[in-house]
C-alpha cells in the first residue's frame, strides 16, 4: 500500500461528497491513519468513524491559528508524526466583481489562503524533525483561467494565492526534504456544484472538456495520493492539473 504506516491530515474533509472525504477514504484504503479536520466536531468524528477506528476527526477552523495548532498537537499526541497534509478547506461565492464586499473577500481569502498557511505552519516543525513530509495544496482551475464558472474573482484570487504560496514553500522547505505541490481541479461534481448546473450549462461546459465528462472527487483524490506518496518523491513545487483538458497550457 502506498501510504502504509503514514499519518495524513486533511482539512475540510467531513462532507460526504467532497474532495476532502474522497481523499481521506482513498488514503485510508492505502494504509494511512487519517485525521480529518473540519469546522463541525460531530461531522468530523462521524466522517473519521466511517474510515475505521484508527482514524481521527477533530474540530478546527483553519482561519484560527490557535484551533489549528491545537488540532495538530492532538494528532501528533495520538500518532507521533505527520507525513502528509492536504490543504483542502475552501469556500466559494458566485459573485461578480462589483458585488464583492469586504466580508466576502475576507471569508474566501481567509479559508483558502490563510487556512493553507496556518495548517502548513502547524505541521512543518514535526515534518522537519522527521526529515520528511508532503504538503498538498488544493487550488483550482479558476486560478489559472480567471474564474468563469461558479466562483467569483475573489475565489480566483484566493486560489491563485495558494499556487504562489505552495511554490514558495516548496523552495524554502526542499532542503528539509519536505515536498509541497498543488492540484488545480476543474469542474468536479461535489456538494458545491450539486443542483447548480442546468442542462444548457452542462452542455456548454462539456463542449470545452476534451474528455467529455465532469470530474469526480475520486479523480482529485488519486492526484493527492500521487503527490502524498513516494510515487512523487522527486516532485516539488509542481501544479498538477485535474481538469479533463478544460485548460491545456
Distance from C-alpha of 56 to C-alpha of 102, rounded to nearest angstrom: 35
DSSP 149: S
Is 155 marked active-site? yes
Distance from C-alpha of 234 to C-alpha of 203, rounded to nearest angstrom: 39
Tell me whether residue 109 is exposed, middle or buried, using C-beta atoms within 10 angstroms of its C-beta: 0 to 12, 13 to 18, 19 or more.
Answer: middle
Residue partners of 46: CB distance under 8 A and separation at least 6:
14, 57
**Which one of the listed residues 79, 105, 155, 234 is annotated catalytic?**
155
What is the full DSSP assignment across 153-164?
HHHHHHHHHHHH
C-alpha cell, 21: 472525504
**Helix, strand, coil percentages in the chain from 3-state DSSP, rounded to 5:** 50, 15, 35
Count of CB atoms within 10 A of residue 222's CB?
A: 15
Q: Which residues are catalytic?
A: 155
Amino acid at each position: 500500500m502506498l501510504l502504509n504506516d503514514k499519518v495524513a491530515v486533511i482539512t475540510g474533509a467531513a462532507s460526504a461528497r467532497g474532495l476532502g472525504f474522497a481523499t481521506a477514504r482513498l488514503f485510508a484504503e492505502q494504509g494511512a491513519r487519517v485525521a480529518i479536520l473540519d469546522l463541525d466536531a460531530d461531522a468530523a468524528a462521524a466522517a473519521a468513524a466511517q474510515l475505521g477506528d484508527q482514524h481521527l476527526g477533530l474540530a478546527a477552523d483553519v482561519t484560527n491559528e490557535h484551533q489549528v495548532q491545537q488540532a495538530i498537537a492532538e494528532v501528533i499526541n495520538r500518532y507521533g508524526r505527520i507525513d502528509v497534509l492536504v490543504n483542502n478547506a475552501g469556500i466559494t461565492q458566485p459573485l461578480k466583481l462589483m458585488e464583492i464586499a469586504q466580508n466576502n473577500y475576507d471569508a474566501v481569502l481567509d479559508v483558502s489562503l490563510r487556512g493553507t498557511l496556518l495548517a502548513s505552519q502547524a505541521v512543518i516543525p514535526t515534518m522537519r524533525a522527521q526529515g520528511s513530509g508532503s504538503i498538498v495544496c488544493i487550488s483550482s482551475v479558476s486560478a489559472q483561467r480567471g474564474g468563469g464558472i461558479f466562483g467569483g474573482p475573489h475565489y480566483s484570487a484566493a486560489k491563485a494565492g495558494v499556487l504562489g504560496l505552495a511554490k514558495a514553500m516548496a523552495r524554502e522547505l526542499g532542503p528539509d526534504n519536505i515536498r509541497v505541490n498543488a492540484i488545480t481541479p476543474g469542474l468536479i461534481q461535489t456538494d458545491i456544484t450539486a443542483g447548480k448546473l442546468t442542462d444548457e450549462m452542462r452542455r456548454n461546459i462539456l463542449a470545452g472538456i476534451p474528455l467529455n465528462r465532469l470530474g469526480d472527487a475520486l479523480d482529485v483524490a488519486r492526484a493527492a495520493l500521487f503527490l502524498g506518496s513516494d510515487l512523487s518523491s522527486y516532485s516539488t513545487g509542481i501544479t498538477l492539473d485535474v481538469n479533463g483538458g478544460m485548460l491545456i497550457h
